Every structure is written in structure tokens, then in C-alpha cells.
Amino acid sequence: MNGGMKNIVIIGGGFGGIRVARDLGKHDKFLKSKGYEVLVIDRVRHHLYTPLLYEVASGCMIEKGMRMESELLSGVSFRLDEISKSCCGVGSLQGEIVGVDFNLKKVKLASGTEVPYEYLVIAAGAETDYFGIPGLKQNSHAMKTRADALALRQRIQDFIEAKKRGEEVQIQIMVGGGGATGVEFSAEMAGCFRRLARAGEIKNGDWSLTLVEASPRVLGMLPKRASDITLRRLERLGVKVLRDTCVKRAEEKHVVLAPRPLKAGESPETLVCEFRTEFEKIFEVDVLVWTGGVRASSLSEKAGLPVDRKGRIQTDESLRIHTRPDVFAVGDCAAPVDPQTKNTVPQLAQAALKEGELAAKNIIHHIRREPLEMFGFPSYPTVIPLGAKNSILVMKGFIVNGFLGWLVRQAADLRYFFSVLPFWSAIRVFVTGARLYTRND
Ligand SMILES: Cc1cc2nc3c(=O)[nH]c(=O)nc-3n(C[C@H](O)[C@H](O)[C@H](O)COP(=O)(O)OP(=O)(O)OC[C@H]3O[C@@H](n4cnc5c(N)ncnc54)[C@H](O)[C@@H]3O)c2cc1C
């Protein structure tokens, strides 16, 4: 506690955590009058705008060097202390939380420091899930952090550099997971290779990109028509899409694929897998990118909280943990149930923001001894970039594809930047992105 103040501690400065901080910051005077201070603790010093991370991995391949890397990052990664202070009006601390003592109401940092809390919000996000597939973690690139995106970019740039030196090299990329991240990276990367080929830097036969998806459709969470449009778009860009196909094993230069396991009542003929009659097939792969799934931050389990099969903390409808009325969980690490569909809310930034809003409101209600509000998840538009100035937008059953979808996506990005950054910083970030991220188009 600082000078007798009581802490509202937020673990994680991602989408959910920053939204809680920002909305609590709006009640700054009230909280101070009641003796509360808000503190965001994160293991990293930045807030990451993941929806544009694929642009860092695939952007400006011709230009090398740290300067270009930091320019690319400046469109997706913002200093947490600045956001916390300028937009939320709250404090921040860098540190890895390694445990929570719920009885003594303290969070424990790896450094040994303990921070007491009066209210705790767990917004620790998710980690890449490798589903125990042999060799996958060791032999693949993930797409979850800044470091992941830069490592992947570096690997592809090495190939382009070798081509520039006149070496006879080729690159075979495989992307595992045909959800939003796998699709947007594949589309953008294919667009980049095609542009490099047009510019004479590489030949079109020098690259191949295969997207592997375990279900019969890419973007399986969207209506079938959106999946079909996306599949056609990817194939037009030169991406080979293997559906109903699972990654079984990964080695340094090979990936073993197999038809997905059949469900009860299915026959092999129902699969759209290209090699459904074979047990396994080995593919030569230079770069394997894994975007096949996430599971909630391991912190939830370490803290001994009740979790579902994806490691997400089970909350009640007010986002509190059942057994702990002073602890809330939001975002990818939480498993609130959508009261309308009765399904667990998807691990999306939009859901994390909505949950962050509610957790902040309910903390204020609790301090005021008012009844808490219940969670309601309205349906939001989904916009998935499909390379160049082309996105697919799905909103209440309507599907818009192409430039209009891209414009909506630009507006959504800008709106978010305005919500966390000072006005001119938001404009600068947006303009930087517009300048750099469209170079593959
Ligand atoms: C490449 C990519 C693209 C995406 N695109 C979209 C999209 O277009 N639209 C969409 O809606 N969603 C998208 N998502 C999903 C979206 O990023 C997540 O749903 C969202 O980030 C969840 O917010 P969060 O606050 O729960 O977690 P995060 O935003 O991940 O934040 C969690 C924070 O907690 C910190 N943390 C974790 N553990 C600890 C610890 N032990 N100690 C201290 N700090 C810790 C992390 O460093 C991180 O900053 C995308 C995800 C990825 C990876």
C-alpha cells in the first residue's frame, strides 16, 4: 500500500487489463476519496495491438535492420507506462507475477516483491497451445508476441537476402491453423511474395505457402459463405489450403500431416483432406508457423483457481471468481458464459474489452455497495484482413468483402488507437501503419 492507499491491482496490460484501468481511471476522484489506487502489472513494458501483428511478421521485407523493425513495431506496440498514465491516469509496474496469495491478498512477483491488493483483476491473457504435438513447439514459429513476429520476419528475410546474393534458394512455408491469425498472415505473406516477384527480387516458383486447417473450413467461426470466399481468395493468392488435415509431428525440416480423426458416424469420404486414404504424409518445410490455438495463461492454474479445459478461469456473471468476491477475471484467461448463447465467450480482443468495461463498473459498484451488473456479450462485426486492401467483414449475417471491408478494418484500428493513446499519438501510429503496412499491397 502506498501512503495508506489500498490497491486495485490489475495483472496484465493487454486489451482486458487496459480497459479495466482506463474505465477505473474515469472514477479517479471517487477512488482516491475512498483511499484506492489502481496499479497495472505486466511482465512486459508494452501494450500489444495483436490484430496488426501479422503486418510486423510480413512487412517491408526488402528493408532490413533494427530501424525498420522498430518502425514496424511502432504501429502495434505502445509503451505501457505512457498509456497507463496519460489515458488511464493509473500507475504501472513491470514484473512477472508468479503467484497470488488469496488469503493474505497479495500478488507475488518473480523479483520477490509482494504487492497487496484490495481488489484484484486477472487479465493475464493466453499462451500458444501446442496440444502436446511432438516437436511442434521446438520447430515452429508462434505468432503471439513482438518477439515471435520479429523472429518469423527475420527467418523470411534471410531467404530474401540469399536470393539477392544470387543464391539458388527456395522457401516452403507451412502455416498450421486456419483461424483468423493463420489466414491473415498467409494472405499478407503471399501478397508480399507476389509483389517481390513482380519487382524481380524473387521468382514465383521460389516460394510456396501451405495453410493447414484441422476442420473442413478456414475461419470456421464465421458463416460458411465467408469461409468459402476466404478459401477462394487464398487460393487466388497462391496459398495451398489443406483442410480436414492435422499436424501430427514436426521435425526440423519436415512436418507430418494426417487426415483429422473421424467423428462418430463419419466415413473417410466425408473428409476434404487431400490424402484421406493415407495414414500420414510427410512434407518438406523450411518455416513452420503455428497459429493453431491458445490456452489461458498458466498463471490461473498456478494460482489454484477453478479453470475449464482451456485453462480459463471460471467466473460468475459479474466476472468475479466464484469463491473470491474481490477477484475478477477478464479476457482470454477468463471463461464467462454468454447469457444468450450459453457458450463460453470467445477469446477475442472485443470480448476482453467488453469484460474489462464490466469488471471496472462492478468494482465501482462493489465499493459503493451497489448491486453488480451481469455480463452481456453483444454480437460484434468481425473483420479479417485477406491481403492487400482487402478484408472480409461479417456483421449480423451480412458479408462484405474487399476494399469496403478493408476500410471498416482501418476505422476499427483507428478507433482503438484513440481509446488508448493521446489524440496525436493515435494519429501518428495510424499514419505510420498506413505507410508501412500497405507496402506489400
Ligand atoms: C496474432 C493475433 C491476432 C489477433 N487478432 C485479433 C483480432 O483481429 N480481433 C480480435 O478481436 N482478437 C484478435 N486476437 C485475439 C486478441 O489478441 C486477444 O483476445 C486479446 O489480446 C485478449 O486480451 P487479454 O487482455 O485477455 O490478453 P492480452 O492482450 O494477451 O494481455 C495479457 C497481458 O498479460 C501479461 N501477462 C501474462 N501473464 C503475466 C504474468 N504472469 N505476469 C505479468 N504479466 C503477465 C502479458 O504480457 C500481456 O501483456 C488476436 C490474437 C493474436 C495472437
pLDDT digits (tens, 9 = 90+) for 89-119: 899 999 999 999 999 999 999 999 999 999 9
Work out the percent of the chain whose per-residue pLDDT is above 90: 78
**Residue 159 Cβ < 6 Å to ligand 1:** no
**Residue 349 Cβ < 6 Å to ligand 1:** yes
**Residue 124 Cβ < 6 Å to ligand 1:** yes
User: Who has greater pLDDT, 100 or 267?
Assistant: 100
Q: Which three cell numbers stand for residue 357?
A: 468495461
Distance between Cα 103 and ligand 1 center (Å): 28
- Picking from 4, 3, 6, the residue whose alpha carbon sits closest to that of residue 106 is 6
Q: Which three cell numbers stand for residue 75?
A: 504501429
Confidence at residue 360, expressed as pLDDT on a 0 to 100 scale? 98
- Picking from 372, 368, 369, the residue whose alpha carbon sits closest to that of residue 359 is 372
Q: What band does 279 get if pLDDT is binned at 50, 70 and 90? A: confident
Distance between Cα 352 and ligand 1 center (Å): 9
Distance between Cα 169 and ligand 1 center (Å): 36
User: Who has greater pLDDT, 275 or 218?
Assistant: 218
Confidence at residue 122, expressed as pLDDT on a 0 to 100 scale? 98
CA pair distance 74, 58, nearest whole angstrom: 15
What is the mean predicted confidence (pLDDT) over 324-340?
A: 92
**Residue 25 Cβ < 6 Å to ligand 1:** no
- Residue 236: φ, ψ to 5°: -65, -35
Residues in Cβ contact with 46 at an 8 Å cutoff, skipping those fewer than 6 apart = 77, 78, 79, 80, 146
Work out the percent of the chain whose per-residue pLDDT is above 70: 98
What is the mean predicted confidence (pLDDT) over 180-206?
A: 94
Residues in Cβ contact with 96 at an 8 Å cutoff, skipping those fewer than 6 apart = 43, 109, 110
Nearest ligand 1 atom, CA 51: 5
**Residue 385 Cβ < 6 Å to ligand 1:** no
Confidence at residue 267, expressed as pLDDT on a 0 to 100 scale? 85
Distance between Cα 47 and ligand 1 center (Å): 9
Q: What band does 61 get if pLDDT is binned at 50, 70 and 90? A: low
Q: What band does 40 get if pLDDT is binned at 50, 70 and 90? A: very high
**Residue 44 Cβ < 6 Å to ligand 1:** yes
Confidence at residue 29, expressed as pLDDT on a 0 to 100 scale? 94
CA pair distance 193, 282, nearest whole angstrom: 24
CA pair distance 122, 321, nearest whole angstrom: 10
Q: What is the pLDDT of residues 344-362, one digit of tens each?
A: 888 999 999 999 999 999 9
The answer to whether residue 62 scores a pLDDT higher than 70 is: no
Confidence at residue 2, expressed as pLDDT on a 0 to 100 scale? 60
Confidence at residue 405, expressed as pLDDT on a 0 to 100 scale? 95
User: Looking at residue 371, what DSSP letter applies?
Assistant: P
The secondary element (H helix, E strand) that includes residue 353 is helix 349-367
**Residue 93 Cβ < 6 Å to ligand 1:** no
Cell 512486459 belongs to residue: 44
Confidence at residue 41, expressed as pLDDT on a 0 to 100 scale? 97
Cell 523450411 belongs to residue: 286
Sheet holding 239-242, edge to edge: 239-242, 207-212, 171-176, 287-290
The answer to whether residue 252 scores a pLDDT higher than 90 is: yes
Tell me the domains of the chain and their CATH numbers: 6-43+95-128+294-379 (3.50.50.60), 136-290 (3.50.50.100), 382-415+425-436 (no CATH)
Q: What band does 418 get if pLDDT is binned at 50, 70 and 90? A: very high
The answer to whether residue 302 scores a pLDDT higher than 90 is: no
Q: What band does 299 get if pLDDT is binned at 50, 70 and 90? A: very high
Distance between Cα 291 and ligand 1 center (Å): 14
Listed ranges 194-198, 202-206, 358-362; the one with the highest mean pLDDT: 358-362
Helix (H, G, I), strand (E, B) or coil at 26: coil
CA pair distance 264, 12, nearest whole angstrom: 41
User: Who has greater pLDDT, 293 or 323?
Assistant: 293
Nearest ligand 1 atom, CA 333: 26
CA pair distance 204, 198, nearest whole angstrom: 9
> 146, 48 in Cβ contact below 8 A?
yes
Distance between Cα 151 and ligand 1 center (Å): 19
The answer to whether residue 320 scores a pLDDT higher than 90 is: yes
- Residue 383: φ, ψ to 5°: -125, 120
The answer to whether residue 66 scores a pLDDT higher than 90 is: no
What is the mean predicted confidence (pLDDT) over 20-38?
A: 96
Confidence at residue 396, expressed as pLDDT on a 0 to 100 scale? 85
Bridge partners of 120, per DSSP, are 9, 327
User: Looking at residue 344, what DSSP letter applies?
Assistant: B
**Using alpha carbons only, how large is the chain's radius of gyration in Å?**
23
Nearest ligand 1 atom, CA 19: 25
**Residue 356 Cβ < 6 Å to ligand 1:** no
What is the mean predicted confidence (pLDDT) over 8-27?
A: 97
What's the whole-number average pLDDT of the chain?
93
The answer to whether residue 63 scores a pLDDT higher than 80 is: no
Confidence at residue 340, expressed as pLDDT on a 0 to 100 scale? 79
Q: What band does 322 get if pLDDT is binned at 50, 70 and 90? A: confident
